[in-house]
Amino acid sequence: MPPIKRTKFKLAPEQLLEMYYWLKLIRAFDERLSVLVKQGKVRSGVYTGIGQEAIIVGTCFALRKEDFICPLHRDLGAFLMKGVEPRVMMAQMFAKATGLSKGRDSALHSGVSELGIFGNTSMLGANLPVAAGLALTYKIEKVDNVVVAYFGEGASNVGDFHEALNFAGVQQLPILFVCENNQYAYSVPIEKSMAIDDVADRAHGYGFDGVAINGNDVLAVYQATQGALARARGGDGPTLIECKTYRWHGHSEHDKAFYRSDEELAMWKSRDPITTFTTYLRTRNVLDDDKTKEIERKVTAVIDEAVEFAVNSEDPKAEDAVTDLYA
């Protein structure tokens, strides 16, 4: 292979390839789920994040194990990057006894506290005040961990969002608010729900920085996250990073997304975060055909194994429904 050209942010070629692997794995996980749901094998609503992978990879890649994330319905990839095994995540979507919540929720609300993953609730924005509370704990305990809370641009119109940002700004909390602005809240386009262009501007009203970036550029997301994390760890409070992106599929797999045009989808597909990053890696000689094949083979093997595990796992037993309950 020709010599590797200097790459951004002092990331070693191995780290860039690791990012590439995660992008491919998360895409493949969602794509497989999309097929499985149509085959009637998935017992959960499926809200794929296809097209938005750079946000999860760029943010999670910058985290320490101790940092906490509060992911959304579209962020299964964040679970994987934080350390949930793909087979366990798949079993979760199949509502099997081997899944994270042992088949006892609708699959999208489980958390894993040992891995720093907060279980989200269905109410949009409701995770944000909880995330701020978690960040307050870090401040009180004087540890330099950070909380990363994800939300959609739709959720930024909900009261909880504003309360959480206000509190985080007043308390200078170590928290990073990551907006995955995929242009639609279900069928509602952003211009019908907001009178401003950038969700990022909302941070200024609460006394901290908000930046709007290309959410399809994994390195831009990584760079913005690194800066925000350094400020949070150093006691300089929160940051809002708005990542402009697009979801390729409907809101969920049962939504055909007739409310948007083919041209719009095609335009955003031309900005595919994986294709863009592939070009970057190839022009710098970090990635070649052999490496691509090797990574693709690995991804397929991981997903195949995950599906096999989920298919062959036991269903939950009725009598176990009352275990693990809090009094």
Ligand X SMILES: Cc1ncc(C[n+]2csc(CCOP(=O)(O)OP(=O)(O)O)c2C)c(N)n1
Contacts with ligand X, residue ranges (CB under 6 A): 74, 122-124, 152-155, 158, 180, 182, 184-186, 251
The distance of closest approach from Cβ of residue 215 to ligand X in the complex, given in angstroms and rounded to an integer, is 12
CB of 311 to ligand X, least distance (A): 28
Nearer Cβ to ligand X (210/237)? 210
Between 16 and 155, name the residue whose CB sits nearer to ligand X.
155
SS3 at position 180: strand
Q: What is the smallest separation between the CB atom of 141 and ligand X, expressed in angstroms?
A: 31
Partnered with residue 234 across adjacent β-strands are: none
Q: Residue of minimal CB distance from ligand X? A: 152
Structure-token match 């997903």, residue found: 303
- Among residues 94, 98, 70, 95, which one has the least CA distance to residue 82? 70
Residue 231 or 251: which CB sits closer to ligand X?
Answer: 251
Cα 247 to chain centroid, rounded = 12
CB closer to ligand X, 194 vs 220: 194
Closest distance of CB 273 from ligand X, Å? 16
CA nearest to 118, candidates 94, 137, 140? 137
CA max distance for the chain: 63
How far is it, in rounded angstroms, from Cα 46 to Cα 130?
A: 24
2, 285 in Cβ contact below 8 A?
yes
State how far the alpha carbon of 261 is from the alpha carbons of 47, 55, 190, 251, 257, in Å: 20, 24, 15, 15, 9
Residue 29 or 309: the one with the smaller Cβ distance to ligand X is 29
Give the shortest CB-202-to-ligand X separation in angstroms: 14
Closer of 20 and 184 to ligand X (Cβ): 184
* Closest to ligand X by CB, 98 or 182: 182
- In 3D, which of 31, 125, 123, 16 has the Cα closest to residue 77? 31
Residue 150: C-alpha distances to residues 1, 59, 73, 128, 144 (Å)? 39, 10, 10, 8, 20
Sheet holding 147-152, edge to edge: 68-70, 147-152, 175-181, 239-244, 209-214
Select 232 or 243, whichever has its Cβ closest to ligand X.
Answer: 243
CA distance 15 to 219: 12
C-alpha distances out from residue 252 to 71, 77, 185, Å: 16, 16, 11
